[in-house]
Amino acid sequence: MDAVSFDGFSTTLEDRGVLVVTFDHPETMNASTIGMKRDLVELLTRAQMDDAVRVLVFTGAGRAFWAGDDMKSYAGDSAGSVMGPIGAGHRTPLGTYDALRAVSQAVNVAVRNLDKLTVAAINGYAIQTGFSFALACDFRIAARSARMGSATLRFGLLPDEGGQWLLVQHLGVARTIDFLMRKRIVSADEALELGVVHQVTADDELMDVAMELAQELAEGPQVAMRLLKRSIYNAAELAFPHALDDIAAKTAISDHHADAKAGAESFRTKEPPAFNAWLEPS
């Protein structure tokens, strides 16, 4: 992953191909702009196509993970550091529709479509857009001081970046109705009880815990894990016969990959498997 200056976040490639993405505008609690969202989609595209990247970890600087949108960014045209100028939209009903589909919703589509595994290390406030982004990631670890929710109804607005669908996936319909209609902002421990996050840890241990998970994921058989990720998300949408066909097609790839041979050799020798030789620099 080439070093690039992005709008609203910075990146660092750590050992074993763990890409750490830090939202780095703490003065606005990492509120998102049009430019930041476009750069984030570009980053995810690059990460998908870069063999040096195996796992992505997202976190925030300061008191927030990602505290919603910076509404001032809707006032005029916006350009990210990577992408050129783009109109902010939202000036007319059709403009709002177009802006949501092309920019705001595209972020969550991009992170969910990424075959590589993602970890949201929620260090502080994850509100509205930031909360939905965390829900779109594969794993969520929260610092104990973190707070998260949508609460768009407090302003007469909707969770328009797809937050309602993502919450239904995690909570079911009944609990999503309660969560959104009552404008709930929950603590990390409450989020854990609801099943919205996988783990809660001490604030000063968050990144250590997140990186430990990321390293574990990065050392696993990447081809099989990426195929399994896609099949799990497909299974949530497919009938059983279609899910069976989906996993069979993916198994036809993974069974004949070098990692499967390494796994069989590990079983024979009782030694740790030498996965991902295909990813190591030649």
Please give the pLDDT value at position 110: 97
Q: How far apart are CA 242 and CA 145, in angstroms?
A: 42
Are 74 and 31 contacting, i.e. CB atoms less than 8 angstroms apart?
no
Query: Rounded to two decimals, what is the model's pTM?
Result: 0.94
Are 50 and 14 contacting, i.e. CB atoms less than 8 angstroms apart?
no
Band of pLDDT at residue 280, cut at 50, 70 and 90: confident
Does the structure show a pLDDT above 60 at 124? yes
CATH class of 222-279: mainly alpha
Does the structure show a pLDDT above 90 at 245? yes
Structure tokens at 136: 């779109």
Q: How far apart are CA 27 and CA 40, in angstroms?
A: 19
Give the chain's mean pLDDT: 93
Please give the pLDDT value at position 77: 55
> 9-219 in CATH: which number?
3.90.226.10
Please give the pLDDT value at position 90: 81
- Residue indicated by tokens 């996988």: 198
Percentage of residues in the chain with pLDDT exceeding 90? 83
